[in-house]
Amino acid sequence: MTGPVSDTVDALVVGIDGVIGRALAARLAAGGTAVTGTSRRVGAPRAGVIPLDLAEPPDRWVLPARIGTAWLLAGVTAQAACRTDPTSTGRINVTHTVALAQRLAAAGAFVVFASTNLVLDGSRPRQPADSPLRPLGAYGAQKAAAEEGLRTLADAAAVVRLSKVLAPDFVLIRRWVEDLRAGRPVTPFSDLMLAPTSLDFAVEALVRVGRARRGGVYQVSAADELSYADLAHGVARRMAVDPGLVRPTTSVASGIVLDALPRHATMDASRLEQDLSLPPPPPEAALDACLTPDERQPGGGKDG
Ligand SMILES: NC(=O)c1ccc[n+]([C@@H]2O[C@H](COP(=O)([O-])OP(=O)(O)OC[C@H]3O[C@@H](n4cnc5c(N)ncnc54)[C@H](OP(=O)(O)O)[C@@H]3O)[C@@H](O)[C@H]2O)c1
């Protein structure tokens, strides 16, 4: 159980226990905004958190009567789960997500929906926001379907397509750091591309889109892309460890069938730059933000 739902909420973070939701709520609160969050983790009452499970029928949801801005960040984010259980994940990520967005908009909210570069086919770099939706995997297909559903809200909703967001606790990088520090080799994929932004950058973009209250699609992407092998080399350089410990392989050679293996990961982020003064950062900035000062060695850290 949680406390009673306030009638009026200025900022609602749907999915406050997720990586991005937690960081967004902290950023809004630090800027003086009163934040309410939703969580499916029901237990002891938590101030400012109301229960909401997207797997439940919408008539069970209890929402504030008036909402200023709602960031819709909750959903099943594990690509394998979307592939293996498309029915229940589709209910959460598409049908109920769109139903929730409609309820939020009916309560007066401007809705900011987090989508992904995986709604696009990655056939060329810096894919424009108005490219046809051609998702490569089940997760991307669900996000694309949700985007389509949100179009009925017109200017009451903005879609923010995020490329990979590198949070400081990103498991893969943490594991590489541990292995490289211990002198163990790492085997990153050279055929999987990403155009990463830092968690702080992605959160700033979400905040500015929420403040601007203009509908349509925004794309949040690094200016250039890297492979996971490039990323691991970047980690090794910053730690000033033997670069020979990075032994790239491919997903194909490893026998791993990925849900989506787009050729390119960058998206055209010019709307974010022009309308909201956030130019796309270099991908290395996201990596820098992931390493602690004592992981970055003096003399390490020069790219290319
Ligand atoms: N991180 C990225 O690189 C990235 C890139 C592109 C797009 N995005 C999108 O950005 C959004 C936030 O991503 P994230 O990285 O913060 O994901 P995350 O850490 O996996 O957070 C997702 C949140 O959704 C909640 N959730 C899952 N199923 C739910 C349900 N049935 N009802 C209510 N809540 C449910 C989870 O709850 P629990 O905490 O209880 O598990 C979790 O808090 C997602 O929509 C994701 O698709 C993220």
Domain co-membership, 133 together with 179: no
Is residue 303 situated within a structural domain? no
Question: Looking at the predicted structure, is the pLDDT value of residue 156 above 50?
Answer: yes
Is residue 301 situated within a structural domain? no
Q: How confident is the model at residue 294 (pLDDT cuts 50, 70, 90)?
A: confident
How many domains are contained in the chain?
Answer: 2
Q: How confident is the model at residue 300 (pLDDT cuts 50, 70, 90)?
A: low
Domain co-membership, 150 together with 72: yes
Coil, helix or strand at residue 176: helix
Question: Looking at the predicted structure, is the pLDDT value of residue 80 above 50?
Answer: yes
Domain co-membership, 254 together with 214: no
Nearest residue by C-alpha to atom 17 in ligand 1: 18
Is residue 1 situated within a structural domain? no
Domain co-membership, 126 together with 240: no
pLDDT tens track for 242-256: 999 999 999 989 888
Provide the CATH number for the domain around residue 186. 3.90.25.10
Report which DSSP code applies to 82: H
One-letter amino acid for residue 158 of the chain: A
Q: Range of 242's domain?
A: 171-194+225-265+282-295
Nearest residue by C-alpha to atom 27 in ligand 1: 75
pLDDT of residue 302: 55
Domain co-membership, 137 together with 211: yes
**Angle at CA of residue 265, ends 89 and 147, nearest 5°:** 40
Q: How confident is the model at residue 304 (pLDDT cuts 50, 70, 90)?
A: low
Is residue 273 situated within a structural domain? no
Domain co-membership, 185 together with 117: no
Closest atom of ligand 1 relative to the 20 alpha carbon: 16
In short, whether 53's Cβ falls inside 6 Å of ligand 1 is: yes
Q: Judge whether 198 and 287 are in contact, CB under 8 Å.
A: no
CA distance 210 to 27: 13
Angle between helices 283-290 and 199-212 (to 10 degrees): 120
Domain co-membership, 188 together with 202: no
Nearest residue by C-alpha to atom 11 in ligand 1: 73
Domain co-membership, 204 together with 257: no
In the chain, DSSP finds a helix count (H) and a strand count (E) of 10, 11
Domain co-membership, 25 together with 44: yes
Domain co-membership, 179 together with 289: yes
String of DSSP letters for 87-105 = HHHHIIIIIHHHHHHHHHH
CA distance 207 to 63: 21
Domain co-membership, 248 together with 102: no
Domain co-membership, 98 together with 130: yes
In short, whether 192's Cβ falls inside 6 Å of ligand 1 is: no
In short, whether 17's Cβ falls inside 6 Å of ligand 1 is: yes
In short, whether 24's Cβ falls inside 6 Å of ligand 1 is: no
In the predicted model, what is the mean pLDDT of the chain? 94
pLDDT tens track for 170-208: 999 999 999 999 999 999 999 999 999 999 999 999 999
Torsion over CA of 73, 76, 79 and 80, rounded to 10 degrees?
170
**Angle at CA of residue 151, ends 150 and 156, nearest 5°:** 75
CA distance 267 to 18: 24
How many CB atoms within 10 Å of residue 253? 12
Is residue 213 situated within a structural domain? yes
In short, whether 165's Cβ falls inside 6 Å of ligand 1 is: yes
Burial of 302 (0-12, 13-18, 19+ CB in 10 A): exposed
pLDDT of residue 1: 43
pLDDT of residue 301: 55
Our mutation pick for probing the ligand 1 site, out of 73, 116, 198, counting the most ligand atoms within 8 A of Cβ, is 73
pTM of the predicted model as reported, rounded to 2 decimal places: 0.96
CA distance 76 to 61: 18
Q: Judge whether 138 and 259 are in contact, CB under 8 Å.
A: yes
